[in-house]
Amino acid sequence: MTEESRTLYEVIGGEPTVRDMVDRFYDLMELEPEFQLLRSVHGPSLENARQRLFMFLSGWMGGPDLYQEAHGHPRLRMRHMPFAIGTQERDQWLRCMAWAMEDVGIDTELRVRLMNSFFQTADWMRNKPD
């Protein structure tokens, strides 16, 4: 199987890598003061968000469509409307994800590719004026 015919899910390393990336993302959010604003948007527990992001990214990357099977269409913008998301929250989310991907060993070229996609989505999620 050539690199071009593999899904992003396969290229990244499948379930273990997606799980590690999501876990590191939320661990950093919990631990690092620079993500305090982003953390505050999530409420007292991160477990639900952690599981939902893992499920979403699995399907988004071409792996099992866990999120859609459990919750229906992601409707990302609609589902995030109850949360105030501005430029600072967007930037903290992106920085946290970039750090998580680096920590779990995702190669630079793939990180850049993912960050381009993540930026487009994160920017579209903004729903409050700055």
Q: How many structural domains is the chain composed of?
A: 1
Do the domain assignments include residue 100? Answer: yes
Distance CA 8, CA 10 (A): 5
Q: What is the mean predicted confidence (pLDDT) over 14-20?
A: 98
Distance CA 78, CA 39 (A): 20
* Overall pTM surpassing 0.75 (yes/no): yes
pLDDT, tens digit (0-9, with 9 covering 90-100), for 69-111: 888 887 887 787 788 899 999 999 999 999 999 999 999 999 9
Do the domain assignments include residue 3? Answer: no
CA 65-28-32 angle, to 5 degrees, is 155
Do the domain assignments include residue 2? Answer: no
Do the domain assignments include residue 101? Answer: yes
